[in-house]
Amino acid sequence: MTIDLEVLAAVVRLLKEAEFSEFRYAKGDVSFVVRRGDVSEGPTPPPSTIAPAPAPVAAPVSPSAPVVETDGAKVRAPLLGTFYSRPKPGEAVFVKIGDRVEPDTVVCIVEVMKLMNSVSAGVRGVVAAIHARDGDLVEFGQALFTVVEAA
């Protein structure tokens, strides 16, 4: 992987002024994620992270091992059904990116024929990615969340 740290620093500087909480960039074999916000409960930057001052955290990652996308555990659908991120329409989501979860934390619902099945994280860590949207048909074994280790 080649990534020009000057370019990355420029991107981070530009984003500093913008309204955003998470920025993902992918082109060719290069991808990176910049996240901002409440990191007090979130992950401390992984060792490879470049953190230009002050707040934004940039994690350049190679496609062969994108830190956010494949590192960490996947929470998978225990059965085929429809994915819901919140208990009821209009209510808050069970979890969002950056949230800390325990093994028994309910992270979503998979509905099968009007039967609501709560899905627990099964691992301890921080939600790094959400792979399904409300109303999606999710299949047995499909990855729903990526949870990374909290340092």
Chain residues binding other proteins by CB under 8 A are 79-82, 112-113, 115, 137, 139-142
Buried b / exposed e along 58-90 (16+ C-beta atoms within 10 A): bbbbeeeebbbbeebbbbbbbeebbbbbeeeee
Q: Which is nearer to other proteins, 34 or 109 (CB)?
A: 109
Query: Please, what is the minimum distance in Å from the beta carbon of residue 81 to other proteins?
Result: 6
Query: Please, what is the minimum distance in Å from the beta carbon of residue 120 to other proteins?
Result: 18
Q: Which is nearer to other proteins, 41 or 139 (CB)?
A: 139
Distance CA 24, CA 35 (A): 9
Query: Please, what is the minimum distance in Å from the beta carbon of residue 129 to other proteins?
Result: 21
Buried b / exposed e along 2-27 (16+ C-beta atoms within 10 A): eeeeeebeebbeeeeeeeeeebeeee
Distance CA 71, CA 62 (A): 12
Q: Which is nearer to other proteins, 39 or 79 (CB)?
A: 79
Query: Please, what is the minimum distance in Å from the beta carbon of residue 79 to other proteins?
Result: 6
Q: Which is nearer to other proteins, 50 or 79 (CB)?
A: 79
